[in-house]
Amino acid sequence: MNAIAHRVVAHGRVQGVGYRDAAVQAAFEHGIAGWVRNRTDGTVEMFVQGTPEAVERFLHWCRRGPPLARVTDVLTTPAAVAPALRAFEWRPTA
């Protein structure tokens, strides 16, 4: 698989609106591996990896989020692929 990876931080009204749970479902639907967690600064942080096409589709979803979210910005930074990651998981707040 020709995989790419990104660290993603979503800003706005993204906590307390089901963003993490919806991200896990969206990642499954898009074939993305990685993780999602709330951060104490009110953002949601993710590590995502998959094919370039799958990652782009997932990032598009991140910019909208679930219906109750109000995403104001999504920052992405390229990252090294983590070959051991095979699924997408919800992690505790950091």
- Catalytic position from the list 13, 37, 38, 86: 38
Place of tokens 């589709």: 57
Residue 38 is a catalytic residue: yes
Residue 20 is a catalytic residue: yes
- Catalytic position from the list 7, 20, 37, 70: 20
- Give me the DSSP letters along 14-48: -SSSSHHHHHHHHHHHHT-EEEEEE-TTS-EEEEE
Q: Which residues are catalytic?
A: 20, 38
